[in-house]
Amino acid sequence: MLRKLHSWQQHQQTSITLWLFALALLVAIQSAFAQPAETLSQYQFEPAEGGYQLALTEVPRPEAGLKEVLVQVKAVSLNRRDFGMLNRRYDPENSMAGSIPLSDGAGEVIAVGHGVTRFKVGDRVAGIFFEKWIDGPPSAEALASDRGGSPGGMLSELIVSHEDGLVAIPDHLTYEEAATLPCAAVTAWVGLFKRGNLQPGQFVLLEGTGGVSMFGLLFSVAAGALPIITSSRDEKLEVARQLGAFGTANYRQNPDWQAEVRALTGGKGVDQVLDVGGRDTLGKALEALAYGGHIALIGGLSGYGSEIPTDSLMWINATASGVYVGSREDFEAMNAFISEHELRPYIDRVFEFEQAQEAYDYMGEGAFLGKIVIRM
């Protein structure tokens, strides 16, 4: 009897020990999940021969301060500007060593600081391109607050932003899709609608099939306009036709593509141009422009510094606007249009966070169509 009692006591002690061990393990696991990591991973620009290279680093986890929001970044996207930064072609006089790449990203709010009223935990947001350009005309301070190559860059697992530097993203978009909006989409929107006052039935010339032009295509089709898009590759033009392009022109096969574009309009000319080419395309774009037309001066893929032939603009009563992205107000107006028409950005390829350099290399090859995304 005593032997059985002793055996029972030993069994009970073993059970209690195992139970206490399991409880301690559970507490430890819960504690690990409850306590956020003290560091996070982010890419930074690191000096290298001929420019910079991407360096994956561990940095202290930030906290949301007064009127600030902590965002877990879910996806980011690349623009030509980002590739130029890596190769020190953009603002070469100022060092970007130690700064965070990429202006475009979207994610989830995971903490808010004191006084935040615009967002709550769980909201889906995107960063605006200029953190301090909220509405109205830009200022020197606003234009100096551009993300990417700055502390406000998005290629980081977490970012802290003032609540004013974020917008809610359309409900129907994934994080990958929303990450494509801040630069290219807002630029196309401002060029066509805010500056160009795009109307149904107007002809729109879109140069190439990069981010700005592909957003211009989507917006033009949704607005009932007639987009004509150029490219050096027929397979890209076929995709553009499938997305609703009224006409296409292969500028490699036809160096006088501006005449082909004008012919597509019945000789009238295009009412709107998103000129992303710069030095080598501006003159030809103006030759394709209709009386009273508008040309948005956006990019410099072939170089900046081209002379604007003012006489050409004057004789046909045309207008030209310099467009460098836009304000938060513009972003929100664009998002309303995107939501109304349930538009989805065209994404060429999605890379993983660890493949950031591969994403840059892919952009450098120049074969992409639309946007390149990195998933976090």
The pLDDT tens digits of the residues spanning 108-141 come to 999 999 999 999 999 999 999 999 999 999 999 9
Q: Decide if pLDDT at 41 tops 90.
A: yes
Cα–Cα distance between 372 and 376 in angstroms, integer?
Answer: 13
How many percent of the chain have pLDDT more than 90? 78
Q: What is the pTM of this model?
A: 0.88
* Contact call for residues 351 and 371 (beta carbons, < 8 A): no
19: region left, alpha or beta (phi > 0 left; psi from -120 to 50 alpha):
alpha
The H or E element spanning position 81 is helix 80-86
The model's confidence at residue 171, banded by pLDDT at 50, 70 and 90, is very high
The reported pLDDT for the residue numbered 27 is: 44
More reliable by pLDDT, 227 or 33: 227
More reliable by pLDDT, 309 or 190: 190
The average pLDDT across 263-288 equals 92
Q: Decide if pLDDT at 14 tops 60.
A: no
* Contact call for residues 349 and 50 (beta carbons, < 8 A): no
Cα–Cα distance between 285 and 130 in angstroms, integer?
Answer: 29
Would the CA dihedral through 243, 248, 250, 251 be positive or negative? Answer: negative
The average pLDDT across 164-168 equals 98
Place of tokens 């005593």: 2
The model's confidence at residue 314, banded by pLDDT at 50, 70 and 90, is confident
Tokens of 135: 């509405």
Tokens of 74: 């879910």
Rg (CA), the chain: 26
More reliable by pLDDT, 156 or 92: 156
- Of residues 130, 81, 176, the one with CA closest to residue 329: 130
In single-letter form, the type of residue at position 109 comes to V
The reported pLDDT for the residue numbered 281 is: 85
- Average confidence score pLDDT of the chain: 90
Place of tokens 């072939």: 302
Cα separations (Å) of 332 from 87, 171, 189, 297, 310? 32, 13, 11, 22, 34
More reliable by pLDDT, 32 or 230: 230
Cα separations (Å) of 134 from 129, 131, 143, 314? 10, 8, 11, 33
The model's confidence at residue 260, banded by pLDDT at 50, 70 and 90, is very high
Buried-state track 206-238, b at ≥16 Cβ within 10 A, e below 16? bbbbbbbbbbbbbbbbebebbbbbbbeeeebbe
Which domains are seen in the chain, by residue range?
39-181+327-375 (3.90.180.10), 196-322 (3.40.50.720)
Strands 247-250 and 226-231: what pairing? Answer: parallel
